[in-house]
Amino acid sequence: MTPAVRAIVFANVGVFLLTLIWPTAIIGLFGLSPRAVIHDLRIWQVATYLFVHSPQSLMHILFNMLAVWMFGVDLERRWGARGFLIYYFVTGIGAGVTTVMVGLLPFEATRGIYEIPTVGASGAVYGLLVAWAVIFPARTILFMLMFPLTARVYALIMGAIAFYAALGSSGSGVANFAHLGGLIVGWLYLKGPRDLRLELRYRWSKWRMARLRRRFDVHAGGRRDDWQDRIH
């Protein structure tokens, strides 16, 4: 495993072991509950829910961590650890924000989403799937462990499943809107306005240069001033 993928897997396993001991406390504090985010201002939950998995389902964390490894290693090798982690948390937090927004809708079907905590890394996993399909569209993956499909076709099928599942969601415990949110945010991040991404990259580079100047006390024209002082 690559370093960032390894860190994500170890963090999830560590939190899962703690959840086995204190399930109510861990899920209540770090799982994503739209009610808690809105009324109790537990804003951190839109990020921390990515590391919490239900102690009642070992397969949940196993499949999520398998997907993080399967899709994440290639992406981290392509982007580097920092770029990969930024994308992982952008899609995961985006999926969490989507869940909160859907939970606020005044419909009977969304009442369960508002009340029941959402846990698991599935939103970020769906974001990784989109990126993997965009960057490696011809890669082959076994759908249902039986049918070989290209990454692009597999992502389209999983997106369709997430979309129709979200339409029929009634707060059954499956984070369908988180899945759909991870897909959409991942796609927008990769295919969004190029000018916006370039502007953000420029602002980041400019901030880093200003920080380096302050750190090393670099002044423009310093050498010329010293040379003039020596002449005078």
- Please tell me the predicted confidence (pLDDT) of residue 103: 85
Q: What angle do CA 52, 57, 59 make, to 5 degrees?
A: 95
- Output the six-digit token pair for 169: 């969601």
Partners of 148 in the β-ladder = 142
- Please tell me the predicted confidence (pLDDT) of residue 171: 47
Per-residue pLDDT reduced to its tens digit, 120-173: 999 999 999 999 999 988 888 877 767 788 888 888 888 888 777 766 555 444
166: Cβ–Cβ under 8 A, 6 or more apart, which residues?
A: 176, 177, 179, 180
- Please tell me the predicted confidence (pLDDT) of residue 199: 57
| Residue in the structure block whose two tokens are 């560590």 | 14
Q: Evaluate whether 122 touches 182 at the Cβ level (below 8 Å).
A: yes
Strands of 14-164, DSSP E = 140-143, 147-150
Give the span between the Cα atoms of 28 and 81, in whole angstroms.
30
Instruction: Please state the separation of Cα 2 from the chain's center in Å.
Output: 17
| Residue in the structure block whose two tokens are 């994308």 | 87
Q: In this predicted model, which residue has the larger pLDDT, 27 or 175? A: 27
pTM of the predicted structure, to 2 decimals:
0.78
Per-residue pLDDT reduced to its tens digit, 78-106: 999 999 999 999 999 999 999 999 888 88
Q: What are the φ and ψ backbone dihedral angles of 37, each rounded to 5 degrees?
A: -65, -45
| 231 confidence band (pLDDT: 50, 70, 90) | very low
Could you tell me which of 62, 19, 51, 59 has the C-alpha nearest to residue 123? 51
CATH superfamily, region 3-192:
Rhomboid-like (1.20.1540.10)
Q: Evaluate whether 128 touches 68 at the Cβ level (below 8 Å).
A: yes
